[in-house]
Chain A
Amino acid sequence: MDSMKYLAAGLTLQYDPTQCRGCGRCVEVCPQGVFELHQENQQPLAVIVRKEWCMECGACVKNCETQAIQVKTGVGCATALFYSLRTGKPPCC
């Protein structure tokens, strides 16, 4: 098996298609293939095709010029969370 899915409950990915300019950067940068570029009324538009694969890395948010995408980013790392719980500082591993 080359790829795996994780728990999708609580995913914070949010996308507003009305803000999309169709630049395609989200498709280019997403390492889990969440987005695809489709044609809507002869205009390119980003579409979420597999939301549950999102790993909340934030690459799409970072590269979306119109801020159409929001995600609460952070590393999916239990060690970082334990550190944060222990020290009260932000998660770090």
Chain B
Amino acid sequence: MPLQNTSYLHCNSNLNLQDYFDHLKSRVSAYRMKCNVEPGLYALGSPTAESMVFVTANYKLSFDRLRRELGRSANTKNAWILVLNTRGINVWCAAGKGTFGTYELIKRIESSELTKYVSHRKLILPQLGAIGIAAHRIQKETGFRVIYGPVDVKDLPWFIDQYLLQTEKTKEHQIKLNKIRLVKFTLLDRLILTPMEWIPALKKTFFPMIALLVLSYCLYGVHTSLTLFLLFQLTLFTGAVLAPLLLPWIPFKSFAMKGAIMGLGMFAAYYLLLGFPHQKSIGLFVSTAVFFPLYCSYLVLLFTGSTPFTNMSGVKLEVKYALPIYRVGLVVAAVLYLLGGALQWIL
């Protein structure tokens, strides 16, 4: 079948320095919101009518990682890539939102005229896209049969070469397949997420932090002011970086509890190692002992949205119990802090 260069774009499986720099920026800032590729049909290498079709999102990181992995296997280095318009969001989040969805896939198959370019009727989708795709509906509406690949794209070459294209599937194959169908959350996975927990928290608390510093200086003096600054930064680091890294080893399944434990631990360690100007005011001490662990708890509770294993029912329960405690704690801490400060002036 002669290939017309009219309705599809070209791409290759090489990633250059600019691509990797884009990925890095996407991991640490809001740059990821603009890091997209054009949706539509792409020819990777020189595909034929028999070449496989892979579907992905138009988030550049998703697209780049797919084309790089496809280049690793002789069976896929020439392939078709159908990029859905997920508004630049990655596969999993987009599937949850519905943009990596049945309707968009049907639309994209039609608008790209995919049937003009391939003679088979098979699509390979990332497993995490299944949240948004009804495979039986795709088959009914387009005639294409959906095959879900593994969770992680780096297992895709194995899936194609050692599983899909094998006529004889052994028990070892099944064991490995079961493994690559599970979503993991390793230390490295968690580490990569910490910049986008920590940096936004630093930005959001910048002006409140300045206000607190100035107020503390006026009420309590420079030593207390600096102590509170340090405690605040330590809390942010503990809640946004340390707790996520140590997540599986912190007791309790509840994230709010994990955060409270880490916050208390941080506070106790600070007090034991550096002391505390509590001779100034017992009210101040209690205020900080209440506020910082609860704030740390709150920060870790927010991490539930970045994990691949929390369920909504559980998070709802957590919020139901934690929110009133945070509210009461904040009021108690504020009152004690201000009362203590007032007493500094009166006495």
Spell out A's residues near B (CB within 8 Å): 1-12, 25, 28-33, 53-59, 62-63, 65, 72-82, 85, 91, 93
Let me know if B186 and A93 touch, CB within 8 A: no
Let me know if B131 and A78 touch, CB within 8 A: no
Q: Report if A76-B130 is in contact (Cβ < 8 Å); known contacts: A28-B181, A33-B181, A82-B319.
A: no
Spell out B's residues near A (CB within 8 Å): 95-96, 127-128, 130-136, 148, 151, 178, 181-186, 247-249, 253-255, 301-302, 304-305, 307-319, 323
Closest 9 CB pairs of A and B: A77-B305, A76-B310, A7-B314, A74-B312, A29-B130, A10-B313, A59-B130, A31-B183, A1-B248
Let me know if A56 and B311 touch, CB within 8 A: yes
Let me know if A76 and B319 touch, CB within 8 A: no
A-B contact pairs, 23 of them (CB 8 A): A1-B249, A2-B184, A6-B314, A7-B318, A10-B313, A25-B136, A28-B127, A28-B130, A28-B148, A29-B127, A29-B148, A31-B127, A55-B308, A58-B131, A63-B133, A75-B312, A76-B304, A76-B305, A76-B315, A77-B310, A78-B304, A85-B319, A91-B312
Let me know if A81 and B253 touch, CB within 8 A: no
B333 → A minimal CB distance (Å): 20
Residue in B133, B185, B304 with the greatest tally of chain A CB atoms within 10 Å: B304
B186 contacts which chain A residues (CB < 8 A)? 2
- Total of A-B residue pairs, C-beta within 8 Å: 135
Residue of B nearest to A8 (CB): B314
A72 contacts which chain B residues (CB < 8 A)? 312-313
Let me know if B182 and A32 touch, CB within 8 A: yes
A74 to B130: give the CA distance in the assembly, Å. Answer: 14
Q: Report if A62-B314 is in contact (Cβ < 8 Å); known contacts: A31-B128, A81-B319.
A: no
Let me know if A30 and B181 touch, CB within 8 A: yes
B176 → A minimal CB distance (Å): 14
- The dominant DSSP class at the A interface is loop
Q: Report if A7-B254 is in contact (Cβ < 8 Å); known contacts: A28-B148, A78-B315.
A: yes
B159 → A minimal CB distance (Å): 12
Let me know if B314 and A78 touch, CB within 8 A: no
Let me know if B313 and A2 touch, CB within 8 A: no
Let me know if A31 and B151 touch, CB within 8 A: yes
Contact with B317, one of A4, A5, A9, A62 (Cβ below 8 angstroms): A9
Let me know if B183 and A32 touch, CB within 8 A: yes
Let me know if B181 and A6 touch, CB within 8 A: no
Residue of B nearest to A82 (CB): B319
B173 → A minimal CB distance (Å): 14
B307 → A minimal CB distance (Å): 7
A77 to B134: give the CA distance in the assembly, Å. Answer: 24
